[in-house]
Amino acid sequence: MPEAAERIRTKICGITRVEDAGLAGRAGADFVGAILTEGYRRSVAPEFAARYPEESGCRLVGVTVDEPVDRLVDLAERAGASVLQLHGDEEPGLLTTLRARGGWELWKAVRVRSAEAVLSALDRFAGVADGVLLDGWHPEHRGGSGVRFPWDLIEPVRDRFPAGVRFIAAGGLQPDNVAEAVRRLRPDVVDVSSGVEITHGIKDAARVRAFIRNARQDLEK
């Protein structure tokens, strides 16, 4: 008998208020994300993000951009992150080093500009990343910009994700398009930040609930 498909997981990212972590947890999210590298619109101190897991019951994803390894380990430990999302130009060797330094699940973010670049990233990070996150590309913002990647580029190469590597779909997801993303891209996790916000870092309760409900809808039919 074929195995039942795993249910879709959801991540609410860019949380800057403890009450929004609670909101995400009550709505059924699996992961809450905090931007731990300083200087971004949704950056928070690691000690502040450390309050999210207890408030939400979710696993904490620490998002960092091009941090040196010692600083990264320090941020991850202070936040109590369970997953590290590397959202810069990190090389595979950094992930190998991190794996030896702690028990974090490691996700590498790739900003999609071509299917070839995604295939090359899958190749380079196979064996070192537990997940590959695909995000939209924006000329000024590293992430959290609400930009979709071209889904039609990824649909034909979806099955090239190595077995056991989570596919996290991000970038421009919203309550209104997440069911279509789940159907077309068949991700393991859907990730949203700006699509459920009132303004940068401030989440809207109705949109968070609708996002999670709509993400799950296809698999529950």
Ligand X SMILES: O=C(O)c1ccccc1N[C@@H]1O[C@H](COP(=O)(O)O)[C@@H](O)[C@H]1O
| Active site members | 13, 135
Does residue 154 interact with ligand X by CB under 6 A? no
Instruction: Specify the pairing of strand 202-203 against strand 197-199.
Output: antiparallel
The least CB distance from residue 216 to ligand X, in Å, is: 18
Residues 115-144 that bind ligand X (CB under 6 A): 135, 142-144
Distance CA 136, CA 113 (A): 8
Does residue 35 interact with ligand X by CB under 6 A? yes
Per CB under 6 A, the list member of 17, 26, 41, 213 interacting with ligand X is 41
Does residue 203 interact with ligand X by CB under 6 A? no
Residue 167 three-state SS: strand
H or E element at residue 16: none
Contacts of 108 (CB under 8 A, 6+ apart): 86, 90, 95, 121, 125, 129, 131, 132, 133
Distance CA 164, CA 159 (A): 12
Distance CA 84, CA 89 (A): 14
Count of residues that interact with ligand X, criterion CB under 6 A: 25
Does residue 207 interact with ligand X by CB under 6 A? no
Which one of 47-55, 98-106, 188-196, 203-211 is the stretch in contact with ligand X (CB under 6 A)? 188-196
Q: How far is CA 193 from the centre of its chain?
A: 9
The least CB distance from residue 147 to ligand X, in Å, is: 6
Q: Indicate the residue whose CB is closest to ligand X.
A: 144
Which one of 17-25, 50-58, 89-97, 165-173 is the stretch in contact with ligand X (CB under 6 A)? 165-173
The least CB distance from residue 43 to ligand X, in Å, is: 7
Which one of 19-27, 68-76, 98-106, 170-178 is the stretch in contact with ligand X (CB under 6 A)? 170-178
Dihedrals phi, psi of 116, to nearest 5 degrees: -60, -40
Which one of 38-46, 99-107, 121-129, 208-216 is the stretch in contact with ligand X (CB under 6 A)? 38-46
* DSSP secondary structure of 30-65: SEEEEE-STTSTTB--HHHHTTHHHHHSSEEEEEES
**Which residues face 169 on adjacent strands?**
134, 190
Q: Given the rule CB under 6 A, which residues bind ligand X?
A: 13-14, 33, 35, 40-42, 63, 65, 87, 135, 142-146, 170-173, 191-195
